[in-house]
Amino acid sequence: DGGITQSPKYLFRKEGQNVTLSCEQNLNHDAMYWYRQDPGQGLRLIYYSQIVNDFQKGDIAEGYSVSREKKESFPLTVTSAQKNPTAFYLCASIGGASNTGELFFGEGSRLTVL
Amino acid sequence: GIQVEQSPPDLILQEGANSTLRCNFSDSVNNLQWFHQNPWGQLINLFYIPSGTKQNGRLSATTVATERYSLLYISSSQTTDSGVYFCAVTAVSGNTPLVFGKGTRLSVIA
């Protein structure tokens, strides 16, 4: 089945450790996105990539890093510089033209930093 | 950047009731989507509707792009409709990703 797979679904880490969240899609979409959601809040954009080997910062990129070496994959690293990393992280990709196509989400990864 | 406001922020309905959720945006858009986030956090696509009207079962949506708003109608609500409904838009004026509103939290009680 075509879709977006995020892993792990749940992750616990100690403060000061870097964490990498995986996002893989087999929809042949060019553009991919990472959003962060805090409890009771909306979605905020962390990073996005419209093409392989290129990515742009979103509204809250500080403390995060990404790579886009393959079309199918867009991993997100939450670094120790991120002050409040505990959140729900959602990966998405868009079909058709970037930003005007239909956005689809993975099931999310819940990160808890102890 | 474009601003997105959703109303009401919270809504409690008796099962079987109808409701209308509103999304106002501050600029012309070339993309507008409605999503439902279920209690497990999954975001489900409801409508891709930058303009016009669409219907899918008990749900329908209308976007009046010239007046900068969209409406999501839920008829004969069920407890499984509970969750958060998000509107997201992209402005025509900028080639930027979708911007999300803060959502409407819907609780349908039996």
pLDDT along chain A (114 residues), means of 10: 90 92 95 94 93 94 97 96 93 80 93 92
- Tell me what pLDDT residue A98 has: 66
Residue B94, pLDDT above cutoff 90: no
CA distances from A82 to A13, A19, A21, A77, B7 (A): 13, 11, 14, 10, 32
Residue A28 to residue A24: CA distance in whole angstroms: 11
Interval B35-93: pLDDT, tens: 999 988 999 999 999 999 999 999 999 999 999 999 999 999 999 999 999 999 999 88
Using a CB-CB cut-off of 8 Å, the residues of chain A touching B103 are 42
- The answer to whether B100 contacts A105, with C-beta atoms less than 8 Å apart, is no
Q: Is B26 exposed, middle or buried (0-12, 13-18, 19+ CB in 10 A)?
A: middle
* Chain B residues within 8 Å of chain A (Cβ atoms): 30-31, 33, 35, 41-43, 45, 48, 50, 86, 88, 90, 95-103
Cis peptide before B8 (omega within 30 of 0): yes
Q: Which residues of A86-102 are buried (b: 16+ CB within 10 A; e: fewer)?
A: bbbbbbbbbeeebbbbe
- The answer to whether B97 contacts A45, with C-beta atoms less than 8 Å apart, is yes
Q: Pick the closest to residue B84 from B102, B99, B72, B70 (CA basis).
A: B102
Nearest CB partner across the interface for A102, out of B48, B97, B101: B48
CA nearest A43 in B: which residue?
Answer: B100
Supply A20's token pair.
Answer: 């990498």
Pairing outcome for strands B83-91 and B29-37: antiparallel
Residue B3, pLDDT above cutoff 80: yes
- The answer to whether A99 contacts B90, with C-beta atoms less than 8 Å apart, is yes
Q: To which residue do tokens 């393959």 refer?
A: A70
- Tell me what pLDDT residue B95 has: 72
Largest CA distance in chain A: 40
- The answer to whether A99 contacts B31, with C-beta atoms less than 8 Å apart, is yes
Pairing outcome for strands B52-56 and B29-37: unpaired
- Tell me what pLDDT residue A97 has: 63
- For residue A58, how many other CB atoms are within 10 A of its CB? 18
CA distance A13 to chain B (A): 21
Q: To which residue do tokens 């990864």 refer?
A: A109
CA distances from B6 to B2, B25, B84 (A): 13, 9, 11
Using a CB-CB cut-off of 8 Å, the residues of chain B touching A41 are 102
